[in-house]
Amino acid sequence: MSQDPESREEAIARLQKSASDLETRTAPPLSHEMAGQAAASQAWKIIADLFGGVFVGLAIGFGIDHFAGTSPVGIIGGVLLGFAISVWMAWRTAQRLMAEANKHGEPKSVPFDDEDEGA
pLDDT at residue 20, rounded to an integer? 84
| Structure confidence at residue 91 as a pLDDT band (50, 70, 90) | very high
pLDDT tens for 69-88 read 888 899 999 999 999 999 99
Chain-centroid distance of CA 98 in Å reads 9
User: In sequence order, what are the residues at sequence separation of 6 or more whose Cβ sits closer than 8 angstroms to the Cβ of residue 76?
Assistant: 61
Q: What is the pTM of this model?
A: 0.57
Query: Is 2 or 24 the better-scoring residue by pLDDT?
Result: 24
- How does DSSP assign 58-108, residue by residue? HHHHHHHHHHH--HHHHHHHHHHHHHHHHHHHHHHHHHHHHHHHHHT-PPP
Mean residue pLDDT of the chain comes to 82
Higher pLDDT: 65 or 6? It is 65
